[in-house]
Amino acid sequence: MEAGPDEGVAGAVSANETSETNPSDTPSGILTSQELSAIEDEEVLNKLLDKAVDFDERRMIRAAFRDLLKKKREKREKERGSRQDDLRQQALSKAGTGQMGMNRGQTSNHQQRSHMHSQLSASTTNSFTKTTGSMAKPAMAPAHQCSPVVAAPNMKNVKQMLLDWCRAKTEPYEGVEIRNFSSSWSDGIAFCALVHRFFPDAFEYSILNPNARKDNFELAFSTAERLADCPPLLDVEDLLRMHEPDWKCVYTYIQEFYRCLVEKGLVKTKKKL
């Protein structure tokens, strides 16, 4: 008989939780800051962080992880700036060529325009028709109602354990500070960071924009569904309508995502869900 998600979470975040992966290609021993900074693969740093038990070692790995994300973001912004400069130069070049051709056309056609102008009536009646159209907005679908979370004797502890687990997994990610299951997830970046932690090759985290809430939600949920078989329990349109998502909805989704990771073998627990 399968245990409930809460028991699985409690087992996973206990002191006996093992690492999500068992990499055989991860360097052994404590690396120096210089050695860590030379690593340019997020997955390698993820594996190192999962295996590390020393506080100072974990601190250095998290710092290296943040620096790597920052370097990737700066590189992408530099490349984007170079492309924009090239496009501007091309646009200016085309505009200059077009202006020269237009000037030649204006000179050669000056007499024709003067002749046409003389044939026009001096008193011209201009009629302007203004059409005002109204676009009917589609009926807004009712917000998805999250199933009420049944209060169990240890629910508070399990909720806090799951929150701590989310905070630990997203700690290296810049722009993510998980304090609760509501406002901390409102821009979608926290969802993306949590999914990216387990699937670092799925997308480039460093280029995400906190203001692109819809894109962030869709990216996180679609990636979790595709790679972890996690059903999209949260509706993106509902999340966009709310300033802060309902904590019960986020809590339920994170529980399901956690359960899917356990089934995929990406999170090891003492109890099988």
Q: Give a three-class secondary structure readout of 189-255.
A: HHHHHHHHHHCCCCCCHHHCCCCCHHHHHHHHHHHHHHHHCCCCCCCHHHHHHCCCCCHHHHHHHHH
| Alpha carbon distance 91, 86 (integer Å) | 9
Provide the pLDDT confidence category of residue 3 given band limits of 50, 70 and 90: very low
The helix or strand, by DSSP H or E, that contains position 133, with its residue range, turns out to be: none
pLDDT, tens digit (0-9, with 9 covering 90-100), for 24-70? 444 456 788 788 888 877 778 777 877 777 878 777 887 877 787 87
pLDDT at position 1 over 60: no
Query: What's the number of domains the chain is made of?
Result: 2
Of the chain, the percentage scoring pLDDT greater than 70 comes to 63
More confident residue, 69 or 191: 191
Phi, psi of 67 (to 5 degrees): -65, -40
**Quick one: which of 67, 3, 18 has its CA closest to 267?**
18
Buried b vs exposed e over 226-245: b needs ≥16 C-beta within 10 Å?
A: ebbebeebbebebbeeeeeb
More confident residue, 211 or 46: 211
pLDDT at position 2 over 50: no
| Alpha carbon distance 118, 175 (integer Å) | 67
Provide the pLDDT confidence category of residue 140 given band limits of 50, 70 and 90: very low
17 found inside a domain: no
Provide the pLDDT confidence category of residue 148 given band limits of 50, 70 and 90: low
pLDDT, tens digit (0-9, with 9 covering 90-100), for 165-182? 999 999 999 889 999 999
Q: What is the dihedral of CA 174, 177, 181, 184, to 10 degrees?
A: -80
190 found inside a domain: yes
Average pLDDT over the chain reads 75
**Of the candidate ranges 18-22, 92-96, 177-181, the one whose mean pLDDT is the lowest:** 18-22
* Verdict on whether the full-model pTM lies above 0.85: no
42 found inside a domain: yes
For residues 172 and 257, state if they share a domain. Answer: yes
For residues 259 and 160, state if they share a domain. Answer: yes
Domain that holds residue 195: 155-264
Q: How many CB atoms lie within 10 A of CB 31?
A: 18
177 found inside a domain: yes
Task: Give the pLDDT of residue 25.
Answer: 45
147 found inside a domain: no
For residues 167 and 257, state if they share a domain. Answer: yes
For residues 165 and 249, state if they share a domain. Answer: yes
pLDDT at position 9 over 60: no
Task: Give the pLDDT of residue 23.
Answer: 43
Q: Which residues lie below 8 Å from residue 148, measured CB to CB, with a gap of 6+?
A: 248
For residues 64 and 159, state if they share a domain. Answer: no
pLDDT at position 71 over 70: yes
pLDDT at position 222 over 80: yes
CATH number of the domain enclosing 211: 1.10.418.10
Could you tell me if 212 and 240 are in contact, meaning their C-beta atoms sit under 8 angstroms apart? no
57 found inside a domain: yes
Among 46, 69, 87, which residue terminates a domain?
Answer: 87
Mean pLDDT of 233-257: 96
Provide the pLDDT confidence category of residue 144 given band limits of 50, 70 and 90: low
More confident residue, 270 or 60: 60
78 found inside a domain: yes
Task: Give the pLDDT of residue 251.
Answer: 97
Provide the pLDDT confidence category of residue 109 given band limits of 50, 70 and 90: low
Among 50, 72, 87, which residue terminates a domain?
Answer: 87
Among 44, 67, 87, which residue terminates a domain?
Answer: 87
Task: Give the pLDDT of residue 156.
Answer: 74
104 found inside a domain: no
